[in-house]
Amino acid sequence: MQIDCFVLGEFETNCYVLRSTAQAKECLIIDPGFSAEPLVAFLKEESLQPSKIILTHGHCDHIAGVKLLEEEFGKIPIGIGRDNAKMLGSTTKNLSLMVGKPFKIGPADELLGAGDTIELEQIRLEVLATPGHTPGCISLYCRDEGMVFSGDTLFAGSIGRTDFPGGSMPTLLDSIRKQLLVLPEQTKVYSGHGLQTTIGTEKQTNPFVR
């Protein structure tokens, strides 16, 4: 799998572009955030066609780039966790009003839950329900490649915030322990912010989950 990461906007959100190979033209985009112009420029330079957008949750810093992508590439199917769906159409729920940049995006095309799969060419992602940061947060596990996209659930040396509406620290810790830390220790973790890590490293060194 070819993975390209773009750190977008003032919140430094990691947006991932996934392709089956470096030569493939169809791609899947995870969490396009604010100031997505570098992402769009890359897609155009490489003649890539976004086929799906998957949102790990509905906070504004993970969804703001959807509008720009659709302006440039037309309608792109969007998937999000079922319990986060209403965030897309609410400036309050997606926190864009709170940060002074209110916006909404259209409804998701696919509501995702635990056990669902997302496929694009040779890419297969399993949906893990990892609530806590928001009630409907999901993580995306690629068993074949030994990697997981954890959104704002698990970071290198840290965990997601739970002080926003709908957040719950006990729920978040339960999600991490039961859904993420049970993955093979060599599993690479691609988080919504910050550096790449592994499940093994977090089990040994993350002070929040040791």
**184 within some domain:** yes
CATH number at residue 12: 3.60.15.10
The span from the CA of 182 to the CA of 199, in Å, is: 8
DSSP per-residue codes, 44-85: HHTT-EEEEEEESS--HHHHTTHHHHHHHH----EEEEGGGG
* Mean pLDDT for the stretch of residues 131-159: 98
Tokens of 77: 């199917």
Mean pLDDT of 154-167: 97
pLDDT of residue 197: 98
Residue 107 has pLDDT above 90, yes or no: yes
Strands 117-120 and 110-112: unpaired
In a domain, 103, yes or no: yes
Q: What is the mean pLDDT of residues 3-31?
A: 97
For residues 41 and 89, give the distance between their C-alpha atoms in angstroms, rounded to a whole number.
Answer: 27
Instruction: Grade residue 210 by pLDDT with cuts at 50, 70 and 90.
Output: confident
State the average pLDDT over residues 31-55: 98
Q: Identify whether 159 is part of a domain.
A: yes
pLDDT of residue 35: 97
Mean pLDDT of the chain: 97
User: pLDDT tens, 165-177?
Assistant: 999 999 999 999 9
> Three-state DSSP class for 2?
strand
DSSP 108: P
Mean per-residue pLDDT for 47-66?
Answer: 98
Q: Give the residue-averaged pLDDT of 44-60.
A: 98
Domain count along the chain: 1
- Is 15 part of any domain? yes
Instruction: Indicate the residue type of 106.
Output: G
* Residue 7, helix vs strand vs coil: strand
Residue 132: inside a domain: yes
In a domain, residue 180? The reply is yes
Characterize the bridge pairing of strands 78-81 and 49-55: parallel
Residue 141: both structure tokens together: 């596990």
pTM: predicted TM-score of the whole model, two decimal places: 0.97
The answer to whether residue 210 is domain-embedded is no
Q: Which two tokens stand for residue 167?
A: 């957040």
* Assigned domain for 151 exists: yes
SS3 at position 9: coil
DSSP letter at 106 equals P
Whole domain around residue 198: which residue ranges?
Answer: 2-205
